[in-house]
Amino acid sequence: MLFFLAGCGGDTSLTIPCEEDTRCLLYGITSDILILDPHVSNSIEAGIIFRQLYDTLIYRDPSTGEFVPGLAQSWEQSQDGLVYTFNLRQDVVFHDGTPFTSESVAQNIDRIFNADINSQKARLLLGSFSRYEIIDDYTIKIHLFEPYTPFLDGLAQPFVVFASPQSLGSYTNLRYQFHQIGTGPFQLDNYLPGERIEISRNPRYIWGPPFYSALNGTEINRIVFKIISDPVLRGDILINKQVDVVGEMLTSDANILANNSSVQLLPIDIPGQTVQLQFNTKELHTDQLAVRQALLYATNRIAIIDAVFLNYSPVGWSPLSQSTQFAHTGYINQFPYDASRALELLQSVGYQDSDSDGFLDLDGEKLELTIVVPPWGQLPEVAGVLRGQWRAIGIDLIIDPVPGLNSLINRLASGDYHLASLDAFGFDPSILNNSFMSNSPGNVTRYENVELDNLLIQATQEQDNLARRSQYFEIQSIIMQEALILPIREYVNINGIQSNIIDLRFDAYGWYPILYNITIQ
């Protein structure tokens, strides 16, 4: 069968080559990938591909979140948390037939830390990496310069993966993305940037993690990934059977398709920070705690969930989603919608409508706030509802749209905003460091607190889980007590699937599908 995807991004004159292959899966990814290299990219969409082409040393079990063997059949951690010893499987070969050994691990780590690579994520996931030590062909020690408890979590993500040293040596860093050779359950056949990525089953694959099920011979043998960047088109493309799976469905489309027997909806909770608006604590108005607290009370989050997300997402109440390790649930129903309380707080620090124009002001300065809004996650719709809610108590919210991530980052660098949102996803709560460390480039709040900084550092070094939990509870309490954020919702990725697709699962990080066992019935 040939599928034609008109208006879906990329070169739409091309057909998708599934032809008459009834075991070929057409998977829609939701944005273009700037570079398809696991050691360079930080793209969620790229991670979807990497999860199929490569293995990781260890995995998180999707059901329990516990670490389980991958390319490493076992591992040990020194008592001081500075040395990890990995005992590798001895039956693994790359797609090109070369064996996977300790030297393979070493060469890939060297590449990740090569300055010419400009790694955007893999290097950060390795935290306080210092050096490696090859013990023998199948034993390698990794040394850290200080304890870094999220280290194993970093190794479980589809960016710290291992490419064939032979392939890496045959191509330039830029060309490697077109000739990727991993150890994963699928191998790369074709990559047309901006258009599609084609992969096929690795016939040698016998070393998957324990949560992979045994094959029965009916599973898919090819996958074609097609870019469908316009969210408005995804529902129509799914219902017209031009795609088998597509993620990040609009809630309005999901609502329409909920009773359609030809498709399935698979909502997946995404661990990490809640979808939240972060207050710029250095800007006039939001530099005052009372104002930030007032804005929390002035927001009817339940109404936003009803109107924008049609109840597909839980309300966000705190910094971390409840599916994230050590999420603090004590702030559920704290700062409930209370317009009167919001107005009281604003009046307590001098805001009033002195000129009877319907807007509050402070010493003649109108209470006007600017929110920077990227196009994803239905944030423009959230901002629209928020503008109406805040207008009711005399706050003028100016919506400043930006077209993409780079423009958002450049806009935030100016510091000229009151509210903005940067996504941060992950199972380990150490993702909070990038958003709330005083000197972090991701600190949208511009909040500086030595106590908070020290807690964030200590929590990444603490090896006892009970102690870490206590530290992260305290961190989340400071964030909420200082009203640094306005949580909106817990992120849920709504996947649309044809009804004949069987056994689609996602890994512990929520974004990355496990396609090894998928069957088209």
Average pLDDT over residues 51-62: 98
Q: Which two tokens stand for residue 379?
A: 């944030």
- The better pLDDT of the pair 469, 194 is held by 469
Beta bridge partners of 197: 191, 225
| Cα 430 to Cα 471: distance, rounded to the nearest angstrom | 11
User: Going by C-beta distance under 8 Å and a sequence separation of 6 or more, which residues neighbour residue 484?
Assistant: 278, 279, 281, 292, 436, 445, 447
- Give the pLDDT mean for 270-290: 97
Mapped to the 3 state alphabet, what secondary structure does 276-298 carry? EEEECCCCCCCCCHHHHHHHHHC
Q: What is the pLDDT at residue 6?
A: 34
Q: How buried is 242 (Cβ within 10 angstroms: 0-12 exposed, 13-18 middle, 19+ buried)?
A: buried
Residue 17 pLDDT: 65
User: Parallel, antiparallel, or unpaired for β 196-201 and 222-227?
Assistant: antiparallel
- Across residues 1-24, what is the average pLDDT? 50
User: How large a percentage of the chain has pLDDT more than 70?
Assistant: 96
> In sequence order, what are the residues at sequence separation of 6 or more whose Cβ sits closer than 8 angstroms to the Cβ of residue 454?
none
pLDDT of amino acid 22: 75
Q: State the pLDDT at residue 406.
A: 85
Nearest to 372 by CA among 481, 297, 278, 282: 278
How confident is residue 160, by pLDDT bands cut at 50, 70 and 90?
very high
Percentage with pLDDT > 90 across the chain? 89
Q: What value, to the nearest 5°, has the Cα angle with vertex 438 and ends 436 and 441?
A: 75
- Let me know: does 425 contact 271? Beta carbons within 8 Å: yes
What pLDDT score was predicted for residue 351?
97
Flag whether pLDDT at 14 surpasses 90: no
pLDDT at 422: 85
Q: What is the mean pLDDT of residues 184-207?
A: 95
423 has a pLDDT exceeding 90: no
- At residue 16, does pLDDT exceed 70? no
For helices 450-461 and 465-481, angle between their N-to-C axes, nearest 10 degrees: 160
Listed residue (23, 21, 24, 49) closest to 35, CA to CA: 49
Q: Residue 18's pLDDT is what?
A: 74
Lowest mean pLDDT among 18-22, 244-248, 276-280, 425-429: 18-22
Residue 10 in this model has a pLDDT that exceeds 80: no
Q: What would the pLDDT profile of 258-268 be if each residue is shown by its tens digit?
A: 989 999 999 99
Record the pTM. 0.92
Q: How far apart are alpha carbons 47 and 509 in whole angstroms?
A: 11
Q: Is 70 exceeded by the pLDDT of residue 25?
A: yes
Residue of 331 and 477 predicted with greater confidence: 477
Question: What is the pLDDT confidence band of residue 19, given thresholds at 50, 70 and 90?
Answer: low
How high is the mean pLDDT of the chain? 93
Query: Which of 292, 294, 236, 290 has its CA nearest to residue 260?
Result: 236
Q: Is the pLDDT of residue 4 over 50?
A: no
Q: Does the pLDDT value for residue 121 go beyond 80?
A: yes
pLDDT tens string 196-236: 999 999 999 999 999 999 999 899 999 999 999 889 999 99
Residue pair 316/333 in contact by the 8 Å Cβ criterion: no
Which residue segments constitute the domains of the chain, with CATH numbers given?
Answer: 24-268+494-520 (3.40.190.10), 275-490 (3.10.105.10)
Report the alpha-carbon distance of residue 146 to residue 4 in Å, rounded.
53
Mean pLDDT of 478-507: 96
Helix (H) or strand (E) holding 497: strand 492-498
